[in-house]
Chains A and B, each alone.
Chain A
Amino acid sequence: MVQVKTWGKTKRALSFMQKRAIDIIMLVVAVFWLIPTVGLFVQSLRTGADIGQSGWWTALANPRTLTLNSYIRLLSEPTMLRALKNTFIITIPSTVFVVGIAALAAYALAWIPFKGREALFLVIVGLQVVPTQMAFIPAAQIFRLMGIFGTVQGVILFHLAFGLPFAIFLLRNFLGNVPRALLEAAQMDGAGHLLMFWRILLPLAMPAIASLSIFQFLWVWNDMMIALIFAEPVNAPLTTAIFSQMRNFASNVDVIAPGAFLQMLVPLIIFFLFQRQLVQGILGGSIKD
């Protein structure tokens, strides 16, 4: 009896220590995951001379050296302001059009019977993973013919082409799960497709549309590759504008660090505001990379 008791105690002690060990490991991991972002933030609050002289962590011991000057200067630079504006000009239509067009198409694929529906949907499933590189060269040629190479319209159109397959897939799956009875009842009342789409399915699909919008917004906002090819400098969004400053990495750190932080600020705000939708979106429909 006595022995069993001690054994239990040791076991409890052991598991307590185990728990502590897990806590510590996870703490280390969490700190590692936080440091880069924190580092960039601190760096963006330092002067160019300080950045050249010492690491950002030294500023934590001496917070008085931190200043908002870099941001003030950044936001007084016409190119950066323009890039910020361009980012919105590109991102908002790319999001709205993708979601809008995808919702219409998803409805058709889910509820309008027509020949070749299944095949079309399978093509869309396949298109989801096609690498963007496959379209760069022809798109550049088509855009040149249309006179939109280098413009915001070209960038948006390209985002549209690569945003749609996933968006249609996601919404089609969601709409497909709406109970048939609901629609049949409406059909009995003589409602046409447009009315059913607008009155019944769209409101029902709102959660899916919301999380899709968030993903599409982030995807376009964070894109650098497409903008690098299809947006000439005047139309460049933040990502490529900052990247073009990187040729002289050190001499522009006072632009690059606050610029990069500004670029990630909007996604971070979205992350904190819509965390639930984000997580549900990822778990619900898988995410495109």
Chain B
Amino acid sequence: MRLNTRLFTLLLALLVVFVGAAAAEEWPDLSGQTVNVVALWTGDEQRKFEDVLAEFSALTGAEIVYSPTPENLATVLGTRVEGGSPPDIAALPNPGLLQDFARRGFLVAVDDIVGDLVDQYYAPVWRELASVDGKLYGVWYKAANKSVVWYNTNIFAEVGAEVPTTWEEMMEVAEMVDFYGITPFSAGGGSSWVLTDWFENIYLRVAGPEMYDKLVRHEISWTDPTVIEAFEYLKQVLGRPEWLAGGVEGTLEANHPQGIIKPFVDPPQAAMVYGADFSVSAISTETNAVVGEDALFFPFPSIKGSPAAVVGGGDVAVMMKDTPGARALLRFLATPKAAEIWASQGGLTSPNKGVDLSVYPNEIVAASAKALQEAEWFRFDLSDLVPQEFGSTAGTGMRGGFQEFVRNPDIEAITRQLEEDAKKAY
């Protein structure tokens, strides 16, 4: 078994080298040049991204200075542009920011730089998501499937629970797990996106993609019946402290990584946890659980017969300064190879079609990438699409509102509050 795997890996490696060689492109010699890169990845993600950058350095001889900027990325980049020192390449965490920056003239249009690679390797939706007024401004280097629920396989086995595919089945499993003696869910509500993503996944399934888009543009109110209905589903989980590991305070104290590991510590503190495919980083570095054996995920369940639906996120690499180093690095990031270096270590799902699904460290991550490619309904994370004051400013709008909902699951109050905040922001 083990020998086989090794042999397989070896073959795979050879294959990758072969394919890589076949598609080899001429990289310019950039020795002595420095390329400044800004993105929000820190910790484990940062290490993997630095491996990618190291490969680029090896190919071109350029020196890369990477600055992780997890807080206030938009402000930091904005100030740097104003101060006349933008980085060469930045990875923006959502299409809204890309549009904003492109309109303000912070970005270099890149059609003639990477247009060919984007057409070759990406589905049209990703070109669209990186374009403003018909011009291409970036490359979606990283995508995230945020429609997954991680679970502890051992608990499911002990309970005798089947992997749920519908919301009702998931509630049944939760009830069984609770009856068995384990808190069904965990949520790292200290990271507000965990809570807003719960809602977005439900809303996409309850109301469908067209309504989702309307809500994004605030063409329907946050007090719309579809929103209320989605909140009623949400309340079945987040409005039930006895079903959340650590109750209300424990949920809010934990941020995403602290929440995501709760089903996988010993003894487990929960059975299931909503997360994203990149949560694999936290699970594998912070627990002794083996991803693929002890820890697996199932797609976020269908509601009212909704088809395969994925709420996704991603990071788009953009060029803020037109330099030879920036051009080369942007091209490099559009190649399958750049994605494979990170993808093979886990935690990165690439929207790049050229990336072989077999490079993913295990079947489930590959499955996540596949789900992302095959989703009938695919929508970008809503909180990343709405105005920043409403979607991603600490303490107000969606970020504050959903945390308050955990404390006080009053649907009337939260929808009214969200509508008020939304009115101010649009």
Contact = CB atoms under 8 A, between A and B. Distances in A.
Contact of B65 (A149, A234, A236, A252): A234
Given A52-B286, A79-B46, A244-B69, A250 B255 contact: yes
A233 B281 CA distance: 24
B71 A144 contact: no
A48 B258 CA distance: 12
A234 B69 CA distance: 9
Most buried by A among B43, B71, B266, B288: B43
Nearest to B262: A52
A233 B285 contact: no
Nearest to A236: B67
B43 A245 contact: yes
Nearest to B83: A149
Contact of A232 (B42, B80, B258): B80
Nearest to B188: A250
A16 interface: no
Given A150-B83, A248-B255, A251-B281, A51 B66 contact: no
B82 interface: yes
Given A52-B287, A53-B287, A255-B43, A250 B261 contact: yes
Contacts of A184: none
Nearest to B281: A251
B250 interface: no
Contacts of A1: none
B261 A52 contact: yes
Contacts of A150: 79-80, 83, 85
Contact of B43 (A51, A144, A248): A248
Nearest to A76: B47
A248 B67 contact: no
Interface residues of A, number: 28
B42 A248 contact: yes
Contacts of A49: 285-288
Contact of A247 (B42, B79, B265): B42
A52 to B, nearest CB: 4
Contacts of A7: none
Interface in A42-94: 48-49, 51-53, 77-79, 82
B84 interface: yes
A179 B186 CA distance: 72
Most buried by A among B50, B68, B256: B68
A251 B70 CA distance: 14
B36 interface: yes
Given A52-B286, A247-B71, A251-B282, A233 B76 contact: yes
A38 to B, nearest CB: 23
B67 A48 contact: no
Nearest to A254: B285
A79 B66 contact: yes
A252 B46 CA distance: 10
Contacts of B191: 248
Contacts of A254: 285
A268 to B, nearest CB: 25
A147 interface: yes
B47 A77 contact: yes
B82 A234 contact: no
Interface in B249-272: 254-258, 261, 265-266
B69 A248 contact: no
B258 A244 contact: no
B38 interface: yes
A144 B84 CA distance: 9
A31 to B, nearest CB: 26
B44 interface: yes
A139 to B, nearest CB: 13
Contact of A233 (B67, B84, B266): B67
Contacts of A249: 255, 257-258
A78 B69 contact: no
A251 B285 contact: yes
Contacts of A234: 36, 65, 67
Contact of A144 (B76, B82, B281): B82
Contacts of A48: 285-286
Contacts of B82: 144
A232 B76 contact: yes
Contacts of B266: 53
A51 B288 CA distance: 11
Given A52-B261, A234-B65, A245 B42 contact: yes
18 contacts: A48-B285, A49-B286, A52-B265, A78-B50, A78-B65, A78-B66, A79-B66, A144-B83, A147-B83, A149-B83, A150-B79, A150-B85, A244-B69, A245-B68, A247-B42, A248-B43, A248-B282, A252-B42
Interface of A: 48-49, 51-53, 77-79, 82, 144, 147, 149-150, 232-234, 236, 244-245, 247-255
